[in-house]
Amino acid sequence: MYRYSRAIYRDLHPLLLEGAIRPEVGRRLLLAACERTIERLARDHRRFARPEAALFGDVRSLFPVSRQLRVFTIIEAHLGAAVGYLDQEIAERGSADLLRCRATNRKGKACQRVPVTGSDFCPSHRYLENVRSSHTDDLLTA
Ligand SMILES: [Zn+2]
């Protein structure tokens, strides 16, 4: 699922407002908002009405007014694709519960985060899986 939040982030971060806040702060807020939205969508997209409006509301202040229509259009396109993917995944696998990380947290409860695409684990627990090429995980540090 994170490929959708990454795709939104990749398309949007060049449009961020310059000069108002430090660039790395703007990028961090944007990526965090994208990931929150995708995680909520993956948990229960059928009860998440208008996710594109929610994410746009969260991030619009990071963009100049002149770019906001473009920002909304980008968000809408990627979240539409994410919802399509979830519908397909649920149809094929029977349940959205399968879209949860397989790890347990320190308290012994099931991790509630969303697995990285192609993995059974979320970014925090991915070390539990055999090593595979995961250099795309670290967008912010790249
Ligand atoms: Zn996890």
Cα 75 to ligand 1 centroid, rounded to whole Å:
25
Give 110's strand partners. 104
Cα 98 to ligand 1 centroid, rounded to whole Å:
13
Nearest to 26 by CA among 16, 15, 38: 16
Residue 142 lies in a domain: no
Tell me the mean pLDDT in the region 58-69: 96
68: which DSSP letter? H
pLDDT the model gives residue 113: 84
pLDDT the model gives residue 31: 95
Residue 29 lies in a domain: yes
Cα 142 to ligand 1 centroid, rounded to whole Å:
22
- Positive or negative, the CA dihedral 62, 77, 138, 142 is negative
Cα 41 to ligand 1 centroid, rounded to whole Å:
16
Structural domain range at position 85: 2-137
Q: How many domains does the chain have?
A: 1
Least confident of 40-54, 59-73, 127-141: 127-141
Residue 118 lies in a domain: yes
Give strand ranges (E) for the chain. none
Query: pLDDT for 66-83, tens place per residue?
Result: 999 999 999 999 999 999
Cα 130 to ligand 1 centroid, rounded to whole Å:
15
Percent of residues, the chain, with pLDDT higher than 90: 46
Cα 110 to ligand 1 centroid, rounded to whole Å:
8
Cα 68 to ligand 1 centroid, rounded to whole Å:
33
Q: Across all residues in the chain, what is the average pLDDT?
A: 85
Cα 122 to ligand 1 centroid, rounded to whole Å:
4
Tell me the whole-structure pTM to 2 decimals: 0.73
